[in-house]
Amino acid sequence: MKKITFWSLAIVLITLMSCKHEKVYNQVVKDETTGEDIYIGYVNVEGLKADIFKDFYNNGLHNYEPNDSLVQALKPYLDDITFRVIMGTWCSDTQEEIPRLLNVLYTAEYDPLNPEKFEMIAVDKNKKAGNINIKKYNIEKIPTIILYRNGKEIGRIVERFTNRPEADLLNIVKQK
């Protein structure tokens, strides 16, 4: 009987520990100033396809055509690149730039569905992400797209792409 109790307790503890670190995605809250629904915290591409962001997501994917030669030049550099995107679903720059970024990444055969390689965190107008502390990312404007190589930041795009998304990304990944 003691063996069964020990193993039962061990399984319960392991389950509780693994649940504690599980991320919650696509959490909807009401914007305090507008009363509109926005995302807060971790967001994934599936969330961007939902009602809150769907029109912007679809427009960015279908109305932007990446430059194929720039995408092909970018593609080999992306193998060891990870992204962290701090954004606001209520923000017009996010609504324009993030779908274009995703379009470029899909075209380059990069997998933004993989949370190990591509992380999005949605903030409110006060740049708060619910229970996620984003102060360490030094966010001044959103969206902010941070690129990492081997866990080290190699560059960021703040608010808007300067040129075409694929050109800006290529400039960052080629520098270091």
Residue 162 dihedral angles phi and psi, to the nearest 5°:
-75, -45
In angstroms and rounded to an integer, the radius of gyration of the C-alpha atoms of the chain is: 19
pTM (2 decimals)? Answer: 0.87
Share of the chain above pLDDT 90, in %: 81
Q: What residue spans define the domains of the chain?
A: 24-175
Largest CA distance in the chain: 68
Question: Looking at domain 24-175, does it have CATH number 3.40.30.10?
Answer: yes
Are 132 and 123 in contact by the 8 Å Cβ rule? The answer is no
Query: Which residue shows structure tokens 């992400």?
Result: 129
- Across 73-83, average pLDDT: 97
Predicted pLDDT at 32: 84
Cβ-proximal residues to 103 (8 Å cutoff; 6+ apart), any chain? 60, 61, 64, 66, 165
List, for residues 97-138, the tens digit of each pLDDT value. 999 999 999 999 999 999 999 999 999 999 999 999 999 999
Instruction: Pick 46 or 15 by higher pLDDT.
Output: 46
